[in-house]
Amino acid sequence: MLGTIVNVLAIILGSVIGLNLKKGMPARFKEVIMQGIGLTVILIGLKMSLNVNNEIIVIIALVLGGLLGEYLNIDYRLNQFGERLKSIIGSKDGGFVNGFVTASLIYCVGAMAIMGSIESGLNGNHQILFAKSSLDGISAIVFSSTLGIGVMFSALAVFIYQGILTLLAVAVKDFLTQDIITYMSCVGGLLIVGIGFNILGIKEFKVANLLPAVFIVIIVVYIGIYFFPQYV
């Protein structure tokens, strides 16, 4: 769990720095920073999503994952969890929930979160999560300076998500071939693109409702390998 704990502390530290930078910042500066963040998030997502051989697998995973996520209403539940956190700490920040949800999704859907947690739990190798910690800490400075204190509490979501993956590392490692990791990264990248669109206000995506697709793609790839290996 050392890698996850370091990751959590990096997000908290970055958020504290960003919140101090936020004080006294004119609205027009916050707006242009948010535009820059949105474009960068889209770029990161696109880079993650362009290395697959068969887009049909991605489409099937997103459709099935979206249906399951909509049925479970994950987006609503995540927002409600954010509202509860806001109530518990007595925050008056109107953007608390948005900051919490946005940062939680960005920090959790990437391949580094998945593979880093598995390496940490299985081999005691925390290098991937240490690298992720530095990236998350820096981005937390920028996110919290515009999205507010909700970004800091995304550390809780990271702790739960990566902690569970770390504890399950032995059980899931054999299932994660390089092909599966590539497709999981692609689906995660597309979700990050959706987050970028949300940040820019282009289109409001219920990204959380698409989260099951990151794991459903594992099943789809295995079916593809069994029946149509030449197309995976």
Task: Report residue 18 as tokens.
Answer: 């960003």
* Helices and strands (H and E) in the chain: how many: 11, 0
Mean pLDDT computed over 198-209: 87
Reported as a pLDDT band with limits 50, 70 and 90, residue 11 is: very high
Q: Cα Rg for the chain, rounded, in angstroms?
A: 18
Residue bearing tokens 């290098």: 127
The percentage of the chain sitting over the pLDDT mark of 90, rounded to a whole number, equals: 38
Give the span between the Cα atoms of 232 and 223, in whole angstroms: 10
Q: What pLDDT does 101 receive?
A: 92
Give the span between the Cα atoms of 172 and 198, in whole angstroms: 32
Q: Phi, psi at residue 164, to the nearest 5°?
A: -65, -45
Q: What pLDDT does 45 receive?
A: 87
Q: What pLDDT does 60 receive?
A: 95
Question: Does position 220 have pLDDT exceeding 80, yes or no?
Answer: yes
pLDDT digits (tens, 9 = 90+) for 82-114: 999 899 888 877 889 999 999 999 898 877 888
pLDDT digits (tens, 9 = 90+) for 15-63: 999 999 877 777 788 788 888 888 888 888 888 888 888 899 999 999 9
0.75 exceeded by the pTM? yes
Give the span between the Cα atoms of 151 and 96, in whole angstroms: 8
- Output the CA angle 206-207-211, nearest 5 degrees: 125
Q: What pLDDT does 231 receive?
A: 67
Give the span between the Cα atoms of 65 and 102, in whole angstroms: 19
Domain chopping of the chain, boundaries? 2-231
Q: What pLDDT does 181 receive?
A: 83
